[in-house]
Each structure stands twice: as structure tokens, then as C-alpha cells.
Structure 1
Amino acid sequence: MIVFSAIVPPSPLLIPSIGKEHAAALAHTIDALAHIKSSLHAIHPDACIIISQYSRLPQRFGIGIHTHYKGSLKDFGDLREYAAPGLPSLGTALLTQIPHGMAAGVTLPSLDYASVVALRSLCGDAPSAPVVPLHSCAASYEAHARFGAALAEPVIHSSHRIALIAVADLSHHATEASPEGYRAEGVLFDKAVRGALQKKSTRHLMETARKYDEEAALSGIRAMIILSGILEDFRASFRLLAYESPFGVSYLTAEYV
């Protein structure tokens, strides 16, 4: 069963050892992550499914079936290795309950940087709940929605108490501070994504991604589409906790309650 769901940003600057000097600029996001961390601790899920497109597979979606995972933020200056237990029984159960060939079982023990940021932000340095990574792929937005929809029933009816965490950012052109430069379409893209999430409309998310394709290509919208596909018919409301673009890249933090 689903006991918690959230969207969190992937920025390594949220980790104090990397972005401590930027804490004031990221205050709203940091406060929102602290709220989610507290909620997760109180709920104490049996497993965390981490939805990320930052370890995208070339052809098929992926579901992690390893017994343990490791990752780091060494590319950003933090040399510590992060470790988390896996839950291959849950990953295998999900694989067997979705259409054959839709996803592959992934035995790689590595976590991408975005998943490490999310887990360290929400679970601390020693997560108690095992992790099952979901991997995006190069397929269409519609395929991502179908993948999420196919996972809905197996996840909702699982005997495990599951927390769903999508790791995603929004526009990379939101303000003049963006390394990619400002584009008005970035602001419009962010507004449309927030509206689609508020409506819990996977269709509107996909329409937004197609309309603002250049913005969507740099964002984490694929992870949000997968999550939306899982939650579309689940009784939970979207609650925006923080939205800010202090460095030109938009960070959205939200939960479903």
C-alpha cells in the first residue's frame, strides 16, 4: 500500500557539506524537505520507491532488484559513500505484475546522484527503509505514463507500506541567474506543471511536456509523469510545500496527502 508520496528536487546544493553557503537562498526548499523527513520518520515505511530519470536506460524502464545500493556525491565535492539496503522481493513482484517486456530488472548496485540527494535529505545518512529504484528510459512521455499506470495496482495493493519519492526539478531557464540563460517559456512551463500536478492530471503533464519540449528535456518531468501515473486514481491530494528558483533552476517540493 502507498503510505506516502512526494516530489523533491535533485540539487546537491541541498546537502550541507556541498551547499552550506547557499542555505539562505534555498530556505523554503530546505524547510519543506525537513517537513517531509519528519513525516517519513513518523510513518516509518517498509520501503521507499525512488523514481529518477537521472540514471535513464536506453530502451526499457528499469526496476531495481538488488540487495543493496551505493552512491556518492563525489563529483560535487562530498567524498562520502552513501549506502542503502535494497528490497529485491518488492522489485521482482512489481516486474511480474506489469506487462511483459515493459521494464527490466536492474541488478546494478549504484544509485545516481539525484537519488543520493533525495535519500540523504529525507532519510539521513543511514536509511532504515530499503530502497527500490525506478529508472526512466528514452521512451515517449506517453510510455512513461503507461509505466506509472501499470505500476499503480501492484504498488497500491502491495503488502509493503510504500513511500513513493520522485526526484525532479523544473525549468533550467527560470530567471536571469540561470547558467543556461533566461527564457520566458521557462516560467510558463513551471506554471503549467504546477497546475497539472495540482489537478493530478497526467494528461496535462504530458501536454505541458510536449508544448514546452525544450524546457521539458532539461527538467525531471518524466519522473513526475511516472509518479502521476501511479497516483492518478489514488485518493490523495497534491500539496505544494515549496517552489523557488534561486539560481535559475526551479525546485519544487511537494507531498500528496
Structure 2
Amino acid sequence: MADRSSIVFVGIAPHPPIMVPEVGREAIAEVRGSIDAMRELTARILASGAQTLVIISPHAPLDPRAFVAYDDPVLYGDFANFRAPDATVNAPLDIELLDAIEAAAHEDGYELLRLSRDSELDHGTAVPLYFFLRNGWQGQVVALGYSFLSNEDHVRFGSCISRAARQLNRAVAFIASGDLSHRLKPGAPAGFYPNAHFFDEEVVAAIRTAAPERLVNIDQNLRRAAGECGYRSMLVAIGAAAGAETDGEVLHYEAPFGVGYMVAQLARNRESKR
């Protein structure tokens, strides 16, 4: 895999702040499976030999016509908005890779909008990063956000990330941050939709059968009705994984609060298998 693509790992991570112990407190017992799976996901990233971690989040500041990137030399976020100001994350930005991603995107006709300095990381980035850092990640990070461009554009942007990593000969792990349906049961954050579970089931099946094209071809009316916040992140992941060896596995899925949380891998360097 590393000979053909410098993307050495591709995964999917949920981002509910309640997973963070300082935020969730006793409620973390409800998401213990996801927390444990994030430990395993981090172990696999470390085993892949990744030098840089790229995370794309649905909750970064959004520009309808451009992808976005955090641009601080040291990326920083906290959970003050969730009553846990002492829970923080920080990591050095891989500015060289960010520059290369911007150039590759420009070659394909996309704009990468850099956010103003001192922009704190959104929770869609900060939650996964919290677990990566606490489980041993010590490398550089690039933090991105998606757009309102077409599904096909998101896949193509993912291929720009892969091309940038390859041009730098940088071993990169890519993580799509996203939660699945928010409408899985009565009392769920976005209300209950009886068919919402079909969306989550199709996403899980696509990963387990190593068939990412099923994600691309998912019923868009179902997707919208399900109230997800991670589909475009996963499309970028599919583009980033193109040329890599697909090795899909769902490490954990649960929906204790009516929102689907999935920890999964899409692809990884086979030489890194533990």
C-alpha cells in the first residue's frame, strides 16, 4: 500500500462530546464501547507508521463553495462550551502537508479556505483528537472541514489529499469525523424517524463488506431524512483511500441516545496488521 499511496490508514470516528470523561462524567458508561474502540483505532493508526494525522470534520466553519482548514501552527481546542474548560487538545500543524493539499486542490479547481489564526478547533475535530492524543498519538495534525459542493467533489477532494501525501512521501492517516443518524429513537436530538435505522445499517454494511461504493450510492433522500452529520466526511475518506488496499472493519457501533456512533477502518497498510 505504501508504495502506491502515502495514505497508510483511513478510518471513521464519532464525535459526541459526552464521550470525553470531563464532559460526560458518569454518562460515559453509556458510550464505553465507543471509547474502547477509539483506543483500538489509535493503536492501529500508530501501527500504520503514520507521520501525520488528517481529520475532516462536519462542524468546522463552513464555506458553501470551498473546503476549509485550520491554520494555527499549534492547533488548539477545548470543551468549555460543554462545561469542561480544563479538557483541552493541542497538536502541531503539518504546514507542509497543508500547503501540498491546498496546491493539489487548486490543481483540481477547488479552493481551500484557511481559517483565521486563533480559531479554536470545533468539537467534531476535538473529540476524536482528544482520544488520539490520550492513547498515544504524538505526531503532526491537519484539521479540515468540508463544503456544500457535490458528493463527487468531496470524493475528488479526498484524492487531492492522497496525492499531496504521495508527493511529499508523507505517511498519512486520514480520519473522517462523523456521527450517523440523529433520529434513531423517540427523544433523539433531531426527533424520531422510523426509517432512520436503514441509513445506519447501510453505512455499517458498506464498511463490513469493504464496498465503499455503497456509501457513494446510498439513497440521498434517506440520508437527508436520517439527519446524519458525517456523510461528506466519509466521501472524502473514500477519495483519500483510493489506491489503498481496502480493509473495512467496524470496530464498534452503538446508538444509546438515538444517535449512531461508529468507529471503523476503511483501509490500512497491510504490513501494519497486529
Shift of 1:234: 1.1
Moved more, 179-188 or 117-126: 117-126
Give TM-score, length-normalised by structure 2: 0.84
Shift of 1:252: 0.4
Q: Which segments of 5 or more consecutive residues in structure 2 lack a partner in the other structure? A: 1-5, 269-274
Number of the residue aligned with 2:141: 131
Number of the residue aligned with 2:13: 8
Counterpart check, 1:106 vs 2:108: no
Shift of 1:153: 2.8
Shift of 1:166: 1.1
Rounded to whole Å, the distance in 2 between the matches of 1:233 and 1:168 is: 23
Number of positions where the alignment pairs a residue of Structure 1 with one of Structure 2: 257
Give TM-score, length-normalised by structure 1: 0.89
Counterpart check, 1:192 vs 2:218: no
Number of the residue aligned with 1:238: 248
Counterpart mapping for 1:88-99 below 5 A = 88-98=95-105, 99=107
Shift of 1:48: 0.7
Percent of matched pairs sharing the same residue: 26
Q: Letter of the aligned partner of 2:229 in structure 1?
A: S
Counterpart mapping for 1:174-213 below 5 A = 174-208=184-218, 210-213=220-223
Shift of 1:137: 0.8
* SS of equivalent to 1:143: helix
Rounded to whole Å, the distance in 2 between the matches of 1:209 and 1:14 is: 30
Counterpart check, 1:68 vs 2:74: yes
CA contact (8 A) 1:243 1:253 kept: yes
Counterpart check, 1:57 vs 2:93: no
* SS of equivalent to 1:59: coil
Q: Which segments of 5 or more consecutive residues in structure 1 lack a partner in the other structure? A: none
Shift of 1:42: 4.4
CA contact (8 A) 1:49 1:132 kept: yes
Number of the residue aligned with 1:84: 91
CA RMSD of aligned residues (A): 2.3
Residues 52-107 of structure 1, C-alpha deviation per residue, up to 9 Å, x if partnerless?
Answer: 12113232112444422111111111113432210111111122223254132514
Residues 29-59 of structure 1, C-alpha deviation per residue, up to 9 Å, x if partnerless?
Answer: 1111111223334455321101112113232
Moved more, 22-31 or 83-92: 22-31
CA contact (8 A) 2:210 2:246 kept: no
